[in-house]
A and B are shown apart, each in its own frame.
Chain A
Amino acid sequence: MRKKGIQTNDPHIQALARIVGGEKSILYKKEDLIAYDCDGFTVHRHLPKAVVFPKNTEEVAAIVKYCHEHDLPFLARGAGTGLSGGAIPLNGEVIISLVRMKRLISVDLENRRAVVEPGFVNLKLTNSISDRGYYYAPDPSSQYCCTIGGNVAENAGGAHCLKYGVTTNHILGLEVVLPNGEIIEIGKNGIPDPPGYDLIGLLTGSEGTLGIVTKITVRILKNPEAKQTVLAYFDRVEDASQAVSDIISEGMVPAALEMMDQTAIEGVEAAAFPVGHPKDIEALLLIEVDGISAGISEQIEEILRICRNRNVREVKVAQTEEERARWWANRKTGFGAMGAISPDYLVQDGVIPRSKLPEVLKNIQQISKKYGLRIANIFHAGDGNLHPLVLFDASKPGETEKALAAGSECLQACAAVGGSITGEHGVGIEKKEEMRFIFSDEEIAAQIDIRDVFNPKNLLNAGKLFPTPGRCVEVKREKKQRQSL
């Protein structure tokens, strides 16, 4: 078995080990590091220099300070379920894993807020307060295992964000370790909307490039009094898309409005949580309404009417909580389920105006044909957040590149109709080039200026979020800075 003690002469490893209290809180051998060479985005793989497991804010600050002083690149990681590569150590970073900081520090029901450490798992918050009638609204599909720290970094969304908003709408305060090791607190006391610049808004969704969050004050909500869920099967994608448009334009705000196409249905039905969806439909909608009991059944009736108007083949309302849970498990494990029909997949995350749904879905079909790769669509139809899943086999030479190109083209199709390249998964490594579809060089440069205020040495999570060859903007600016020195 393993020898005790640190088995390397690398002074950095030894110093970092001292900060976190020894060998059980640091990994540095290849066999241990391989598990950290990627996150949920598996196309790029790089080994980190080490992985450290701090127990508290002070240890995080000490690690960051050490890296800052010794010019070691570093980044933060939670459960590593991100889909854009935000936690991949492109530059051989020291990974600061926050999963051992997983306490629920306090719950304040009167003021509807809770304080958690960054490694606390999303769903555990709801599970810890549901018996008292409360829940935490942002519900990314990976909520069974993703951490709230990661949710803050990516400004994660989820099925129920249509009605309740994404992570940033639920963050009241943050404790942050800046890239030089300084500890700051923003949104003190968790008072919503403090005066001054919205720094919480800036930090949330900064993809781990501005600082490392070590404590989070989140908003918690009272459970809705009633909840009803509808499942509708359509023979034609156009009809399903039109039904989505109709529901929204009627002025209804469902809690969730999800769509899956035929390939996606094939995947989830072949996987661990099948529902028994028919295989020959082109699309299904999963619609949930919630709120006070009065009015729920009217909304359901309205939704059923709209679906029937749009030639629905079959539409039903969940009769039991088990049935509802089954439908959601089937939907929420959808990405992983693609493993059952394809060795690899690449998920895209475009946003489009809802009215363009049929058009863009048709374009995606064209892209699929062009590259000879199947593309499944599982997405938040209600807010126009598409998730085309490009299915491929990385072991076939050239297929990864083809998948990347096809994914990029999907995003281009979204941008072309006035949409965006990411709704909730972040830019990371995956979509940094595609940033050009929606931002000019100047706009990108302006954002890099903001990053540099927080992260001037660019040691924290470098190489993410902004396009690299177009770093010409950065290079030019760096030259200017040197000249001015």
Chain B
Amino acid sequence: MSLRESEIKSGPACTTISLGNYRFSDPPDPSKWADCVHCGMCLESCPTYEQTGQEQHSPRGRVHLMKSVGEGKLEITEDLIDPIFMCLDCRACTTACPADVDVGGLIEEVRGQIRQAIPLTGWKAFVNDFFLKGIFPHPSRLHLLGSLLKLYQKSGLRTIARKTKLLHIMPEHLVEMEAILPEVGVPVRKKYKHMNVIKAKGETKHTVALLTGCVMDVVFSDINEATIRVLTRNGNDVVIPQNQTCCGALHVHAGDRETGRMLAKQNIEAFQHVDRVIVNAAGCGCMLKEYPELFRDDPEWREKAERFSQKVEDISKYLHDTGYEKPKAELNVRITYHDACHLAHGQGIRQEPRAILSSIPGVEMVSMPNADRCCGSAGIYNLTHPEMANKVLESKMQNVPEDVELISMGNPGCMLQMAMGVLKYGRNQKVVHTVQLLDWAYQKEDGKEVRV
């Protein structure tokens, strides 16, 4: 389909604010690429450049391409999709860049343009619409999906599927994903639905709201439970606004900025009566902090988004900065820490989680070389680009120290991907969330039996 046809199909583009060959509203911000002087300092930071050695798959090359379209030197064509969508959006280049070029922001904006110019078709469009529009924005449907998963895991269906090799009709990466999915529990949103507030243990020092997340609450509700326990133990009343929704990161990464904006508005409203929004998923936290980027052309919502983003904090930084009770029980484990991209590169949070882990008695920290290198999860990148995601994962696993028992991190996507890495490369580490370890230490202190 030519660009013109697709424009007609998707309705009139807002041509008044077009930029070069970006013909739709919300075009990329040219001041972002103006900072790039093409020095190349980003090259080695980029996982896809590491794998391919090709500069159209490097931050500098991608910026150069995006700028060329903005300057009218290049059209948006099918051949542009690969360089722009192969990016993991891991933001490592922004850390490496001497001039702080916001490559991730540009990539997301340009994906928005590409997806409007060349809409997905066929099976891909169906899967995209089904999950990103049909499931994630709707908590009830997500919970239903969770229940189905639970049924599958508990009823013996899984055993049958695995034994009969029925699973083998699925692509390999989905089979791997199925294998490492943890036991599905009860989402905290459902569980605490009728509680206005989960009271702090002892004196209330702060009141915070928890973003429960979509995947987090379905697949890792135990981490949400742990987060609530740790927060309440440290003097926080926790509220779980029921009208909150998916953060929209997956949508924005995929170029669906419109749905991203819709979800952002819903969350901004859902959390309007609280002063603090605590997030335990790095990808979601980063997205919430970047909501203002979605409303560059909408002053009213931009202001609301800016006020909202000030309230957002990652659980590790929040605990570290507001102070938390140092656990007294010993855990006696060797741990390595993996920096989730959207925590380290996206939010600049590196030392806080490490400090929390080190403060647990008996924890021995073993540093991981290139700890802030992407694991290849990158939202749903491991589903959309399995080949590249696997290569990135392989390179990540080579850096995981052999002699540790746990790999700790602060993002559910990374946890699934790293668990897959452990399985695939015959390693024996357990993958845990930073806050879980703190929770275990507290529980042990309280005399409960903890299996680390």
Contact = CB atoms under 8 A, between A and B. Distances in A.
B388 to A, nearest CB: 12
A271 B99 contact: yes
A102 B49 CA distance: 13
B81 A339 contact: no
B40 A142 contact: yes
Contact of A144 (B35, B41, B60): B41
Given A40-B38, A81-B39, A145-B44, A336 B54 contact: no
B74 A333 contact: no
Contacts of A38: 38
Contact of B38 (A42, A97, A100, A144): A42
B80 interface: yes
Interface in B29-88: 34-44, 53-56, 58, 60-62, 64-65, 68, 73-74, 77-83
B101 interface: yes
Interface string A87-99: 0000000000101
Given A145-B40, A335-B98, 20 more contacts: A2-B82, A31-B83, A32-B56, A34-B65, A35-B58, A40-B39, A42-B37, A79-B43, A81-B40, A81-B41, A102-B53, A144-B44, A336-B41, A336-B98, A337-B98, A339-B35, A339-B36, A339-B99, A340-B35, A340-B98
B403 interface: no
A80 interface: yes
B41 A333 contact: yes
A294 interface: no
B55 A146 contact: no
Interface residues of B, number: 38
A128 to B, nearest CB: 12
B100 interface: yes
Contacts of B68: 34
B41 A145 contact: yes
Given A31-B83, A81-B39, A340-B35, A271 B56 contact: no
Given A27-B56, A35-B56, A53-B54, A345 B98 contact: no
Interface of A: 1-2, 27, 29-32, 34-40, 42, 51, 53, 79-81, 97, 99-100, 102, 119, 121, 142, 144-146, 271-273, 333-340, 343-345
A271 B41 contact: no
Nearest to B65: A34
Nearest to A330: B98
Contacts of A53: 53-54
B97 interface: yes
Interface in B95-132: 95-101
Interface string B170-185: 0000000000000000
Contacts of B36: 339
A230 B442 CA distance: 47
Contacts, number: 123
A385 B402 CA distance: 47
Contacts of A32: 54, 56, 79, 83
Contacts of A51: 54
A31 B99 contact: no
A36 B81 CA distance: 18
Contacts of A27: 54, 56
Contacts of B96: 144
B283 to A, nearest CB: 23
Given A34-B56, A271-B98, A333-B98, A121 B44 contact: yes
A339 B101 contact: yes
Contacts of B64: 34-35, 37
A335 B99 CA distance: 9
B450 to A, nearest CB: 36
Contacts of B39: 40, 81, 142, 335-336, 339
A37 B56 CA distance: 11
A39 B39 CA distance: 8
A34 B74 CA distance: 9
Nearest to B95: A272
Nearest to A123: B44
Contacts of A36: 55
Interface centre among B38, B39, B68, B80 (most CB of A within 10 A): B39
B79 A2 contact: yes
Contacts of A345: 37
19 contacts: A2-B78, A2-B79, A27-B56, A31-B82, A32-B54, A32-B79, A35-B56, A39-B40, A42-B38, A51-B54, A53-B54, A97-B53, A100-B53, A102-B53, A145-B41, A146-B40, A335-B39, A338-B99, A339-B101
A31 B80 contact: yes
A39 to B, nearest CB: 8
A51 B35 CA distance: 27
